[in-house]
Amino acid sequence: MAVTHIDSIRNAMADVVVDSIDVGGAGSLVLRASNNAEVSTLPCSNPAFGAASGGTATASAITDDTDATGGTTDRFDFVNGSAAAAGFQGSVGTSGEDINLSSVVIGAGDTVSITSLTYTAPA
């Protein structure tokens, strides 16, 4: 039998992870290239995520980046309001990734939008 967590523990784990994005003020979601270069930065609301339920926290509104740096993205991470690494990180692609975009090639000056995002703590 695998080790699992009850929902109240999963909620607490999810809340700790996503609440770290709000340290020092509103954080940002940063889309990055494979060489770690910033491709696009999207400001988060404060709080960045609502309270977790069933082990899943849903992002509050994420502001569009209306002037992207540009490049090809393959991953993302979060920085908090103090510009320190926060929250969680993951993969970016067009299908089957943690964040799916219509295209991973982002032009300089493009507008980038994230319409929904969730974080789920392990079961």
What domain range is 18 assigned to? Answer: 7-109
Determine the pLDDT at residue 1.
87
Residue 117 lies in a domain: no
The answer to whether the CB of 117 falls within 8 A of the CB of 54 is no
The structural domain count of the chain equals: 1
Residue 50 lies in a domain: yes
pLDDT tens, residue order, the chain (123 aa): 899 999 999 999 999 999 999 999 999 999 999 999 999 999 999 999 999 999 999 999 999 999 999 999 999 999 999 999 999 999 999 999 999 999 999 999 999 999 999 999 999
Residue 115 lies in a domain: no
Residue 59, CA atoms < 13 Å, CB-side half-sphere: 22
Residue 119 lies in a domain: no
Residue 32 lies in a domain: yes
**Please, which residues bridge with residue 32 across strands?**
38, 75
Residue 121 lies in a domain: no
The answer to whether the CB of 68 falls within 8 A of the CB of 111 is yes
Residue 78 lies in a domain: yes
